[in-house]
Amino acid sequence: MTALSVNLNKIAVLRNSRGGTEPDLLRAASTCLDAGAHGLTVHPRPDARHIRAADVLLLGDLCTQRGVEFNIEGNPFAPARTGYPGLLALCEATRPAQVTLVPDGDGQLTSDHGFDFVRDGAALQPLIAAFKLLGCRVSVFVDVGDPHVEQAAALGADRIELYTGPYAEAFATGHIQPALAAAVATAQRAQAAGLGVNAGHDLNQDNLPVLLQAIANVQEVSIGHALIGDALYAGLQATVRAYRCIVDRAALLYGAGPA
Ligand SMILES: CC(=O)[C@@H](O)[C@H](O)COP(=O)(O)O
Ligand SMILES: NCC(=O)COP(=O)(O)O
């Protein structure tokens, strides 16, 4: 079975836009778990643009209480700075079930590529070992078509996360087959090397079923952007009705009647 881990970054984006505490991240997280999510994902960025270090601690506690998987994503090479203690320190404090290593830079709008194992392998190896010493399963972000995907196993990783952004883009344009076939081939090579396969980035209700049909044994998908967007559409009607009830009732009680 494929586990669904909900990425909460976008809830934090909305919260931070007003500088307060709403929408409440823990309430959103609990709602996701109540609805059946198998786990929670966060990708705290060093610039603290959405998830902050304090959020990671609280969500880690929630996952422990609820007995579900917590997945922290981030760049293991990004140095600590004010407001960001570094990925290893965050994992030391929260002991997530899984850490997903992603080679993203500060200037990136979002994650947009996997590791270059030839360039980064030697530096990654001791870091992977350090995360495993903390008891974390280690997954590494990998490009579809990476010719060195087996290196992830040699470096000590347990899983790869297939970067599905290009697949999602191909799906949206209707030219699915080459991107899908490449994703299947990379997943199969990883599995043959003994790695588990996770997948994520820009997955949605349209492209996810096709991916899961094509790739056997995807162990986890982490989904945030589309899922939180869908939640807005799914909830807007009921929410507007609720506010409309309030203004109509007020008009009846205190004003000239409903508009
Ligand atoms: C690794 C990955 O694909 C996701 O974590 C994605 O990067 C979400 O991060 P943002 O929400 O910051 O775009
Ligand atoms: N690892 C991918 C993830 O957590 C969510 O990516 P997205 O659905 O926000 O693109």
Atom of ligand 2 nearest to the CA of 41: 4
Bigger pLDDT: 106 vs 86: 86
Q: Is 121 annotated as a binding residue?
A: no
pLDDT at 258: 54
Centroid of ligand 1 to alpha carbon of 8 (angstroms): 10
Listing DSSP states for the chain in one string gives -PEEEEE-HHHHHHHHHHTSS-S-HHHHHHHHHHTT-SEEEE---TT-SSS-HHHHHHHHHHHHHHT-EEEEEE-TTSPPBTTB--HHHHHHHH--SEEEE----TT-SS------HHHHHHHHHHHHHHHHHTT-EEEEEEETT-TTTTHHHHTT-SEEEEE-HHHHHHHHHT-HHHHHHHHHHHHHHHHHTT-EEEEESS--TTHHHHHHHHSTTEEEEEE-HHHHHHHHHHHHHHHHHHHHHHHHHHHHHHSS---
Predicted TM-score (pTM) above 0.90: yes
Average pLDDT over residues 41-45: 97
- Atom 13 (ligand 1) nearest CA: 110
pLDDT given for residue 255 in this prediction? 87
Asked whether residue 257 carries a pLDDT value surpassing 80, the answer given is: no
Expressed in angstroms and rounded, the spacing between residue 202 Cα and the centre of ligand 1 is 9
Which residue among the candidates 22, 38, 69, 73 is catalytic per the annotation? 73
* Share above pLDDT 90 across residues of the chain, in percent, rounded to a whole number: 97
Q: Which domains does the chain have, with CATH numbers?
A: 3-223 (3.20.20.70)
| d(CA 45, ligand 2 centre) in Å | 13
